[in-house]
Chains A and B, each alone.
Chain A
Amino acid sequence: MSDPKVPPPLPAASVSGPGSPRDVPPLPGQFPIDPATLPEPIRDELQAPDPVALDTAAAELKDGLNRCPKCGSTDVRLKLGSDVLVCQYCRHEWHGERVEEAFGLGVGIDQLRGTVIASGARDIDAGAASLMSFKCTGCGAEVTVNTESTMTARCHWCRHVFGVNEQVANGAVPDAVLPFHIKKEDAVARIRQFVDKRRMFALKAFKEQFTPENVVGVYLPYMIVDSNVSASVAGKGEIKTREYTRGTGDKKKTYYDADVYRVERQVDFTVDDLTLESSADRGNLDTRVNTNNIINTILPFDTKNALKWNASYLLGFSSEKRNLDVEKMRPRLEDQLLSIARAQVENSVRRYDRGVRWEQEQLDVHGSRWVSMYLPVWLYSYHQPGRDGGMLHYIAVNGRTGETMGSVPVQQWKLLLAALATGSIIETLVLWFLVVAS
């Protein structure tokens, strides 16, 4: 028996030859043995697709400079109201490539198997820094971009504009971006209109400080998921067979007879572009502590028109970083898929006129495809002081469709007073009616 404290002896000579670290590594994707000669289970495993099946990285933008294809200037920004990029120097305009066609995202959902993750939706490396620095190719200066809130920066010295285009593993660079269509003035008008309809019982401080011009254009991180699913549900349903009354006068009561059935339903379906918040904070829709449900309500976006990532679309806007990986988001996806399944089978149980009580549900996700995307939202916020840090109220405008939703803080005493006054009037009428009737 060897002494456990003594390490195993070193080999006599340095390790060399085939399979050793001294060996020249095979090229990526190569395998030393021809897989066709191997047994089928091993071959299937070897030839199964790699997790990153969609590479959405743009090699031409790696140095961080988005150049105008005509004059080479880096001062490129979005022409608001369109999906067109415009050079601020020579006014050349060009259209970005749609990811839907470039990576075939709209097709083959019913053929999806396993989990397909686009390169911008890969797991976030906890060690990856959110601060990124570039060496300016124009003058050699160092330019830093904080990807927590912004994706572009201007070199202080030579005015070159940098954008984070390389898909670093910090979750900041998505596969695609949907540019803003709604202009700021339009967003301000929509927010003003929304609040004007809710002034009577609004918090006094909110009304006094209301400045919709302070609205901020933010690109929020989402996962766009396609999936191919089978679901089944089982439960009990009742059909009314007889309705009758017993007793007379005040004792008259209605009774029902019913047949009870055991109901089972299966449905296979595909879901195209289900949109999930890929930031842990934004995905928390607990209305007791936040108003993120407001931002959730302005979904959906026309994600079919999303464009291949180019940081120039974000110039002048802020952004939030994704901080959830695909595996962390899977429970939420399955929850939403089950909800969709239940909505799908609803029509098939119409004949149960006394309702159905579903007791069991089952979900089999055959395949899912995950693409990360930045979606445009105009956000107006108001912080209401209170217990546990108060409440942050949002008014959000969908940057594409203009759909507006918001949370306006209420003046509790006014609302209670109005309710009590109305209640008292109803009560007085009732009492008057009773006195007259008796």
Chain B
Amino acid sequence: MSDDSGLWLLAAGPVGATALYWMLYRYYRNTDKSHAFEHETTVEAKPVTGSDSKVDTVIGTQETRIGGDNVHAYRARVKRVDQ
């Protein structure tokens, strides 16, 4: 075992303590809950249309996801444009 991985393991204590604190706090206070209107409302949608065009390539990045990925963050508003 190297020194590098040993130092990394030392963080487990503080990380575990923080994770437990937030888990219990949320379980009691439920501050992260709200009405999931995106899925609990009756929505009738026509088929989605659109276009995809290749504009660039990325070579040799260490990131596993695109920067600023918000595909699942429905409620994070981005720049609003008028028609």
Interface residues of A (CB under 8 A from B): 109-110, 198, 201-202, 232-233, 235-238, 241, 250, 253-275, 285, 287, 291, 293-294, 296-300, 335-336, 338-340, 342-349, 352, 354-364, 405-410, 415-416, 418-420, 422-424, 426-427, 430-431, 433-434, 437-438
A283 CB to closest chain B CB (Å) equals 12
17 contacts between A and B (CB under 8 A): A236-B66, A238-B66, A259-B54, A260-B58, A261-B52, A268-B45, A273-B42, A291-B29, A352-B71, A356-B71, A357-B67, A358-B78, A359-B78, A409-B29, A427-B13, A438-B1, A438-B6
B61 CB to closest chain A CB (Å) equals 5
Residues of B within 8 A of A236 (CB): 55, 66
Interface centre among B13, B46, B82 (most CB of A within 10 A): B13
Whether A408 contacts B34 by the Cβ 8 Å rule is no
Whether B74 contacts A343 by the Cβ 8 Å rule is yes
Residues of A within 8 A of B18 (CB): 419, 423
Whether A335 contacts B64 by the Cβ 8 Å rule is no
Whether A342 contacts B50 by the Cβ 8 Å rule is no
A178 CB to closest chain B CB (Å) equals 16
Extra contacts besides A297-B33, A361-B77 (12): CB < 8 Å: A255-B61, A267-B45, A297-B35, A340-B43, A345-B48, A346-B72, A352-B71, A419-B18, A422-B17, A423-B20, A433-B9, A438-B6
Q: When A260-B56, A359-B78, A415-B24 are in contact, do A407 and B29 touch as well, CB less than 8 Å?
A: yes
Whether B35 contacts A255 by the Cβ 8 Å rule is no
Whether A272 contacts B35 by the Cβ 8 Å rule is no
Whether A410 contacts B28 by the Cβ 8 Å rule is yes
Interface residues of B (CB under 8 A from A): 1-2, 4, 6, 9-10, 12-14, 16-18, 20-21, 24-25, 27-31, 33-35, 37-46, 48-72, 74-75, 77-83
**Assembly CA distance A365 to B54 (angstroms):** 31
Look across to chain B and name the residue whose beta carbon is closest to the beta carbon of A243. B64
**Assembly CA distance A10 to B82 (angstroms):** 51
Whether B10 contacts A258 by the Cβ 8 Å rule is no
Whether A257 contacts B60 by the Cβ 8 Å rule is yes
Whether A257 contacts B59 by the Cβ 8 Å rule is yes
Residues of A within 8 A of B61 (CB): 255-258
Interface centre among A257, A272, A291, A423 (most CB of B within 10 A): A423
**Assembly CA distance A363 to B83 (angstroms):** 8
Q: When A259-B57, A362-B82 are in contact, do A250 and B2 touch as well, CB less than 8 Å?
A: yes
A278 CB to closest chain B CB (Å) equals 15
Whether B50 contacts A340 by the Cβ 8 Å rule is no
Whether A339 contacts B49 by the Cβ 8 Å rule is no
Look across to chain B and name the residue whose beta carbon is closest to the beta carbon of A266. B49
Look across to chain A and name the residue whose beta carbon is closest to the beta carbon of B58. A258
Whether A297 contacts B41 by the Cβ 8 Å rule is no
Whether A257 contacts B48 by the Cβ 8 Å rule is no
